[in-house]
Amino acid sequence: KNRSVSNLRAAVICVLGHVDTGKTKILDKLRRTSVQAGEAGGITQQIGATNVPIENIKEQTKIVRGISQTEFRIPGLLIIDTPGHASFSNLRSRGSSLCDMAILVVDIMHGLEEQTIESLNLLKAKKTPFVVALNKIDRLYDWSTMSRKDVRDIISSQGPNTQNEFQTRTKQVILQFAEQGMNAALFYENPDPKTYVSLVPTSAITGEGMGNLLALLVTNCQSMLAKRLMFSEELQATVLEVKAITGLGTTIDCILVNGRLREGDTVVMATSDGGSIVTQIRSLLMPQPMKELRVKNDYIEHKEVVAAQGVKIAAKDLEKVIAGKILSVESGGVVCSGQPIISGLN
Ligand code: GTP
Ligand code: NA
Ligand code: MG
């Protein structure tokens, strides 16, 4: 194996879509957690992040036909959950702007909705590749659940009425994408993955199609983004959320896309008063793999964190930090990585 291949970082994947299409539930199924059930009103109100190691992906894609021919070269996925509620467009923008690839979740019973189109436009503007999870297939008429199978086999095993409804609704969604100026096709009928977005039928309740979705993400990342995913020491980190945590004070949740952070590093961040702060990392905290960063966890303290990772930073003076801005590391008085933040100019 050559060095560059073994030096890929985890791909950052953002989950976007209209409210209640099942974004968080899909992640819950993948993580075997119940984050969605703990949300007020079942509505996501913050950006989340989950580190999914490649071992978990291998396990969950075993049922995918032809997967044995796939070599897994990325170390995992860092999945960003975003809210679908109309009022959180700033968070969708923040999530989508730092990802390598996205999952656009569409409820097969509803088709494209207002924030689906808003999300689509964010992805188009940044030219971010994405796949569509055509979710809630278990709600199709007379659906018969067959977990632990490739979704292509599950669909072809449904009764004729169910298959009809699936085809009709899928065609409708493809037409709606065409109205937005985009070619779309079921992933197993996609004539050209470079110009057609792939639709993967899924159910976050039964888990059907989830293996296919993960397999497609990994293969697309490896084929389309291999260069972009080469690990770089040049720090690239964004503040996702600023929050007070009992016992820790004000902390920031960050996405480290490239480079590394160490305990004791001097970091620089933009603040709401137009200036910036310089502070030292007191602790670098991460949840266990497969746990959501935004949910209060038994965080594990790390001396060093290497990209790509979601990480919580505890430090002094974080109260005025602005979410959505970059974080850089200062060494010997020089801002050596990320875009420099000059005090007073931001
Ligand atoms: P926001 O983050 O608030 O935008 O919503 P979301 O897209 O994260 O959706 P969420 O995971 O909160 O799911 C919304 C509702 O749809 C919940 O009641 C879920 O149980 C339900 N749901 C999600 N996925 C599926 C699915 O595949 N099938 C069925 N039947 N219900 C689902
Ligand atoms: Na919801
Ligand atoms: Mg959600």
Quote the CA–CA distance of 46 and 36 in Å, as a whole number.
Answer: 12
Beta bridge partners of 15: 81, 103
How does the average pLDDT of the chain come out, rounded?
94
Q: What is the Cα–Cα distance from 50 to 55, expressed in whole angstroms?
A: 14
Ligand 1, CB cutoff 6 Å, lining residues = 17, 19-25, 36, 42-44, 83-85, 135-136, 138-139, 203-205
pLDDT tens per residue across span 44-64:
999 999 999 999 999 999 999
- Residue-level pLDDT at 342: 45
User: Of all protein residues, whose CA lies closest to atom 3 belonging to ligand 1?
Assistant: 43
322 vs 294: CA distance, rounded Å: 17
Protein residue with least CA distance to atom 21, ligand 1: 22
Query: What local confidence, expressed as pLDDT, does residue 5 receive?
Result: 47
Helices (H), ranges, the chain: 3-6, 23-31, 54-60, 89-97, 114-126, 151-156, 160-179, 210-224
- pLDDT at position 337: 52
pLDDT of 154 reads 98
Catalytic positions are 85
Question: Would you list the DSSP string of 262-328?
Answer: ETT-EEEEEBTTSSEEEEEEEEEEEPPTTSBTTS---PEEESEEESSEEEEEEETT-TTBPTTSEEE
Residue 47, classed as helix, strand or coil, is coil
pLDDT digits (tens, 9 = 90+) for 18-31: 999 999 999 999 99
- Range in 3-7, 48-52, 323-327 the model is least confident about: 3-7
- As a whole number, mean pLDDT of residues 190-205 equals 97
Ligand 2 midpoint to CA 306 (Å)? 32
pLDDT band at 332, cuts 50/70/90?
low
Ligand 2 centre and the CA of 92: distance in Å? 14
Residue 321 has pLDDT above 50, yes or no: yes
Query: How far apart are the two ends of the chain, measured CA to CA in Å?
Result: 44
pTM score, whole prediction: 0.94
ipTM of the complex: 0.99
Query: Phi/psi at 135 (nearest 5 deg)?
Result: -90, 165
Burial 108-129, CB ≥16 within 10 A → b, else e: beebbbebbebbbebbeeeebb
Sequence-distant (6+) residues with CB within 8 A of 127 are none
* Confidence (pLDDT) at 331: 75
